[in-house]
Copies of this chain bind each other. A is one copy, B any other.
Amino acid sequence: MINILLKDGDVLGADGQVRRADIAISSSIITQIGSVTEQAEQIINCQDKLIVPGFVNTHTHAAMSLFRSYADDMLLMDWLKTKIWPAEENLTAEDVYWGTQLAIAEMLKSGTTCFADMYFFMPEVAKAVAESGIRAVLARGMAGVAPTASQALAESENFYKEWHLAADGRVTVMLGPHAPYTCPPEYLKKVTALAEKLGSQIHIHLAETAGEVADCHKHYGKSPIALMAELGVLDHGVLAAHCVHVAPDDIAIMHNKNVRVAHNPGSNMKLASGVAPIPAMLKAGICVGLGTDGAASNNNLDMLEEIRLAAMLHKVHHLDPLAIPAKTAVAMATVQGANALGLGKTTGRLEVSYKADITIFDMQEPHWHPRHDRLSLLTYAAGAHDVHTVIVDGKVLLANRRLTTIDQERLIVEADRRGLRLVNHSSPK
């Protein structure tokens, strides 16, 4: 029995080619691609539409959407110390639930079907994921230097046991040691021991800023990547966010240890962190996905923007218009993103037996014309609002641009109220 039939769409294959086809979905799975003639419970007319794998956001802090536009154009440490950390002190579990729902609403509306999150009050995040229907890879952020260091390890273990592979398998749990500069070696050894005990993978920030790398060399005589390799952190399957300041030796280690990279061009640009050597990583055979980072440092969760930035930033940085072509940038947001999260056998491709995690773009607006090349239009011309329908795990979560599982009106009231309370505005700007 076909539950959903996508009829007459332009379908983007993992080879970057676009072909006219129908897609049949039964339960949570893509069961046919081609000319489908059987009956279906629901038919979605996909004429004039581009069907792509749902985007995979490989690095974010979803609930930080509550701090969107609170503080910008500041030095990183100033921003963290005077704005973000004090505001985060005020966060409650309920705030994290609503902030995460706000992020999920925005992600679904811009075509993202799966995201990797690192934050705290993670059972609230998992609840929002379970209720909304999206797919996610969740990690409780752990800082070894914080008073919560031991508690975070215990919470991570409990969270893993409770939520890993829960919500029909839509939730996967990783361990989330925040970064080498917040997690001393002794703490990281505890984290790797826990990873070994649970069989879990690790999501960590690595080599985001030049200052972090310089400090690491000063304290440990080696780069963050080399230090992580020495401590065994890289032996458990690692998703490493940023990797902006990595040397050729680091890239060799990353390749050797199969480190997967979450590249966040928008955040790296806005925070002035630097330009990650992505072309070199790709050449070395490293798996690179794309991420938005949190909305406080981006300031949206629009993966199409990250695709475009990935395609354009490396061109101008290397003065090479061939640096990251459209096909590579889109692959980083889909198939490679899924690989980065360890979900490459499940999602990220429009292929039979894969999960039905699908984004459908409406190609009506003027910026989609003329249509010489649909992959180019998606990469360089499309907008998030062109996302028309989003399906996750075989369920329609966005139908004709309307969320089906989230009450957007109530959500926005909650988000506004909580966002303003957290930063203790006397009056909004």
Is A377 an interface position by the 8 A CB rule? yes
Residues on A facing B (Cβ under 8 Å): 18, 65-76, 79, 102, 105-106, 109, 210, 266, 268-275, 295, 298-302, 305, 308-309, 311-313, 315-316, 318-323, 325-326, 364-367, 369-377, 379-381, 383-386, 408, 411-412, 415-416, 418-420, 423, 425, 428-429
Residues of B within 8 A of A429 (CB): 18, 372-375
A399 to B302, CA, bound (A): 26
A-B CB contact pairs (8 Å), 29 listed: A68-B369, A68-B370, A69-B370, A69-B372, A72-B325, A72-B326, A72-B376, A73-B321, A73-B322, A73-B326, A102-B369, A266-B312, A269-B315, A270-B315, A272-B315, A272-B320, A272-B321, A299-B377, A299-B381, A300-B380, A364-B412, A369-B416, A369-B419, A370-B415, A370-B416, A371-B419, A383-B383, A383-B384, A385-B385
In the complex, the count of this chain's copies comes to 2
In the complex, which residues of chain B have a beta carbon less than 8 angstroms from the beta carbon of A313? 269, 313, 316
Residues of B contacting A376 with CB < 8 Å? 69, 72, 299
The one of B70, B105, B269, B367 that contacts A316, using a Cβ cutoff of 8 Å: B269
What CA separation (Å) do A315 and B270 show in the bound complex?
6
Give the CA-CA distance A315 to B318 in the complex, in Å.
Answer: 17
In the complex formed, the residue of B with least CB distance to A419 is: B370
Q: Which residue of B lies closest to A75 (CB)?
A: B321
Are the C-beta atoms of B428 and A372 separated by less than 8 Å?
yes
Q: Determine how close the nearest CB of chain B comes to the CB of A65; give it in whole angstroms.
A: 8
Q: In the complex, are the beta carbons of B318 and A366 less than 8 A apart?
A: no
Cβ contacts under 8 Å, A298 to chain B = 380-381
User: Is B295 a contact of A381 with CB atoms below 8 Å?
Assistant: yes
Given A274-B316, A385-B385, A299–B380 Cβ distance below 8 Å? yes
Q: Are A75 and B322 CB-contacts (below 8 A) given A18-B429, A315-B272, A384-B383?
A: yes
Whether B369 pairs with A73 at a CB distance below 8 angstroms is no
Q: Which B residues are CB-close (under 8 A) to A418?
A: 370
Q: How far is the CA of A311 from the CA of B72 in the complex (A)?
A: 11
The 10 A-B pairs of least Cβ separation, nearest first, read: A370-B419, A385-B385, A299-B380, A269-B312, A69-B376, A73-B325, A272-B321, A269-B316, A70-B372, A106-B366
> What B residues does A275 contact at CB under 8 A?
316
Residue of B nearest to A301 (CB): B367
Complex contacts, A76 vs chain B, CB 8 Å: 321
Q: A66-B370, A72-B380 are in contact. List 16 more A-B contacts (CB 8 A).
A: A65-B369, A69-B381, A72-B326, A79-B321, A105-B366, A106-B365, A272-B316, A295-B367, A299-B381, A300-B367, A302-B367, A302-B383, A366-B415, A370-B415, A371-B428, A385-B385
